[in-house]
Structure 1
């Protein structure tokens, strides 16, 4: 049995075991919303800082350009932020924006002398009447700003980053950006991407452009006919099925095996490449006509040929299915999704998800790396050695969905940068969202049973979390205040996931359940409403959100899409686990707005 201590010594954990419920509580930390300790190498640890973010919602505010006949998302955003924060011209840089079904979203960075701040950002949402409905910001009032003329060269910064981080520069274009430090001084940095293939590490290193020191990092890694496990099934003991044409052509117009230039007869296509060892080592069709039918053998090692093929096919199917599902609910090309070819619909493209099954870099885990829009996401699925023969994480759907969801939440929060779930609390929420979506995909009726994650690979009915996710406070006592004694992202994620489990249960109880929610997002049933709010709120919330600001984004998402029809239901569900109107600083509050 793998010890908990062994898992703690692994740097990039995505599906770490939760601590025992009887473990000694850890010290209260007030830094969850602004800091995170990153173990860069065995010798180098760095505590990263991110300015506190705020979130404001409204029923619809005019902006300085409201009287213009033509609405320009860029111009309206710049004018509003400059006016709202009393900034002079040139104090911000427009980054990107897109129009969703119910709102326009735009993202800006604070800037100085034309150079953007990496960690001082803002996002604005406009309704379809072009009025401001929400504003998130981590802009700062700096005390000292370094010279905008670098003292060391880009090449020197790359060499410094490689030496300090322990990896190689990956040839992604470097940038010059400011970074705000905790004392509110501002450092000029060269931003360099460093990868280490042996460890799976992938970071942006921010190297002081005057001293060559490492200032901070962005960690991109988030560590849990086809014969497959259908998406609604969690583990392989529920039975493989052969599915015919499961792709959704409204989300994947060329199907799953073609880009704009190439047709594949392997586990490769526009959205996903599933392989073992190298991206060219994919699984070929078992017979002509794009048939991928490989029967997994549970009694032989997962590394046997047929089992490797079964793993690649299942991973390819699940990640494509989540692509199509999330696309239907708003994670599209313009909203920074993962596709090689974007069909002229916006976004950067050339960033399909690369899924490495039976990756040799580790065991008993899985992880997902989310760089900015335009660079491929990378999922690594490992073998689990708690049984003989070993078990394959690529054959447990909840683990694949968990990892894939990291890509969704990291891309949608902050406008496609991959930089905006970097604090301890925000990173914990990333784990919670991933568990919550895995649970959503496996519902087969209006029932909301307790949910357990990772039971197959861990070979334990209790799975890899401390408690099952449950509406029962006896089965799962976690509440907002539980975070006060937690400092590990998976533990914090359990709190957020359990709150969302209760939100889901409340919506389904009140509004019913749709059996076609995975392919038809137009209904009014509770599971459809839940996933719309889940996806919509990610684009609304500020960079590095806290549980209260993420909750507020859910409330505003309901205003934007449903006119606030679910306001009281949502507030009561959040408040039932301590996240009421007065919740702050990890102290519970069960109050709800007047009228609820």
Structure 2
């Protein structure tokens, strides 16, 4: 490796039947457990195999090619049964860029940040609020190391995302259709449901594809800028085509597909290591007529985008195999749900306390895609750590519900202690590059990181920092402990008891245990309600 990243592969196999890109392979060591509770090092071939709907990281014995030790899928999806396919080609034109200096910010008629879906609020014209630190050249410009210095786009392309439709459900993205707003970058398009046509069949998603791709472009950029300010930067493996010389690997903006064909009632994210483009596939949902566009349900899109955050932070940006299955895979799903509903909770008045769903608009069900609404009320959501002993909780999405619910309960304790912020976005830097504190951050001690002032922004920061601290293939206990350690690093541990009390309410107290760990469902979990001795008087 070099700088923590693998060097060039030992070999490449091209045109392998069933694959959609060359298969890269390299010789590595792989640690395998033995029956005596020990481990052995084996020499294996590490292979990256991309097929149409999956992207595998496989470890095959170098001495016995019939022995496969591990297979991890870099693709995460929404776990909904597939519906009917759609295959209707359309004429497309390539988007042209120009080479002038970075343009003024564009404007987009969208459901602004915090509005989850068309039933939650109305569209408005929003100026690009690109973050000056995360996206210093804006959302439509890619800097170049040579002449021309800048490449500006008038379509839904930029440094953080390349967004377009994919009605045919294929890998090709450069030649797909995307809206081009011209030099004004005024992305304002009709939504037929707002024109009185919402209840008749001819108001289909294709009628508003320009809006759909615009919403996709806007939301992906907002997520990029937000996660950046909480620590998902270039060195940590974020998704950018150009990293501005700030570390990490370039050339990995998200390739985002709207209204994907080939399947419905699903969404997927392919999360390869840093330096390779992640791919976000958003599909149509046919539980109501006309079909609904998954791009317009922010909870689904933010969930999918969070996969690249958790995948690249857990185990480091060069390793995409740390969240493959069992509890670690469930953690990946749970973080996606938790951050999506936490962002959604800033939409209304009050302190965000409420019951929230994932995918309720797309799925046309107020309970959304999960077994229960996320709630601090145990009569609404009774799930705890021991719930995973039930037969229907062996899959990653079901496991993820337990983790997201636990985090939601922990969050409430921090909000009660530190109050609530109506925005997750930190203030923009001053002219001298410094970050103002005041309402958003606490006063910064010399040489110390900035600490969010409010309970919900602090929890957001703790969760993201903890992803960097936990080991590869973490358990619930590892992830819990990493959050507590993150608080110690940021605040000196002033929320130690609040965190433990919150986790204990979900059965993740100090006496919780896992026996006979088995990724295929044979594990037995015992919930724990106890907190450390120093917290018992507080409790």
Same fold (TM over 0.5): yes
TM (norm. structure 1) is 0.71
Q: Does 1:269 align with 2:158?
A: yes
Deviation, 1:254, is 0.9
Aligned ranges 1:102-181 → 2 under 5 Å: 154=11, 158=13, 162=16, 166-168=18-20, 170-171=21-22, 173-181=24-32
Determine the C-alpha separation between the residues in 2 that align with 1:356 and 1:557. 35
Q: Which of the numbers 243, 246, 259 marks the counterpart of 2:142?
A: 259
Question: Structure 1 residues 305 and 391, CA, compared in 2 at 3 Å: closer, same or farther?
Answer: closer
Q: Which of the numbers 93, 96, 111 marks the counterpart of 2:4?
A: 96
Deviation, 1:191, is 2.2
Question: 2:247 maps to what in 1?
Answer: 346
Deviation, 1:345, is 0.6
For the residue of structure 1 that corresponds to 2:268, the secondary structure is strand
Q: Which of the numbers 564, 567, 577 marks the counterpart of 2:506?
A: 577
Question: 2:184 maps to what in 1?
Answer: 289
Deviation, 1:301, is 5.5
2:128 and 2:139 in contact (8 A); partners too:
no
Aligned ranges 1:304-315 → 2 under 5 Å: 305-315=206-216
Is there any run of 5+ residues in structure 1 with no aligned partner, and where? 1-92, 98-108, 110-114, 116-152
Q: Does 1:591 align with 2:473?
A: no
Determine the C-alpha separation between the residues in 2 that align with 1:370 and 1:392. 22
Determine the C-alpha separation between the residues in 1 that align with 2:177 and 2:226. 24
Deviation, 1:441, is 1.1
Deviation, 1:179, is 2.2
Deviation, 1:402, is 0.5
Q: Which of the numbers 456, 481, 491 marks the counterpart of 1:552?
A: 481
Question: 1:231 maps to what in 2?
Answer: 113
2:161 and 2:221 in contact (8 A); partners too:
yes
Q: Does 1:218 align with 2:147?
A: no
For the residue of structure 2 that corresponds to 1:212, the secondary structure is coil
Is there any run of 5+ residues in structure 2 with no aligned partner, and where? 79-106, 145-150, 167-172, 428-439, 442-451, 515-524
1:508 and 1:525 in contact (8 A); partners too:
yes
Deviation, 1:162, is 4.6
Between 488-497 and 514-523, report the one with greater CA deviation.
514-523
For the residue of structure 1 that corresponds to 2:163, the secondary structure is strand
For the residue of structure 2 that corresponds to 1:473, the secondary structure is coil
Determine the C-alpha separation between the residues in 2 that align with 1:403 and 1:411. 14
Question: 1:415 maps to what in 2?
Answer: 316
Determine the C-alpha separation between the residues in 1 that align with 2:152 and 2:361. 35
Question: Structure 1 residues 349 and 301, CA, compared in 2 at 3 Å: closer, same or farther?
Answer: farther
Question: 1:140 maps to what in 2?
Answer: none
Q: Which of the numbers 123, 128, 140 marks the counterpart of 1:240?
A: 123
Question: 2:82 maps to what in 1?
Answer: none
Number of residue pairs aligned between Structure 1 and Structure 2: 443
Q: Deviations over 1:532-565 (max 9, x none)?
A: 1011000001111111110000000000011101
For the residue of structure 1 that corresponds to 2:4, the secondary structure is strand
Q: Deviations over 1:366-398 (max 9, x none)?
A: 010110010011110011111111111011111
Q: Deviations over 1:500-524 (max 9, x none)?
A: 1101111111111112322346341
1:302 and 1:308 in contact (8 A); partners too:
no
1:302 and 1:390 in contact (8 A); partners too:
no
Structure with bigger RCO (C-alpha 8 Å, 6+ apart): 1
Deviation, 1:304, is 5.5
Q: Which of the numbers 62, 65, 68 marks the counterpart of 1:209?
A: 62
Determine the C-alpha separation between the residues in 2 that align with 1:191 and 1:302. 48
For the residue of structure 1 that corresponds to 2:69, the secondary structure is strand
Deviation, 1:528, is 1.2
Q: Does 1:543 align with 2:396?
A: no
Determine the C-alpha separation between the residues in 1 that align with 2:453 and 2:322. 31
Deviation, 1:569, is 0.5
Determine the C-alpha separation between the residues in 1 that align with 2:235 and 2:134. 13
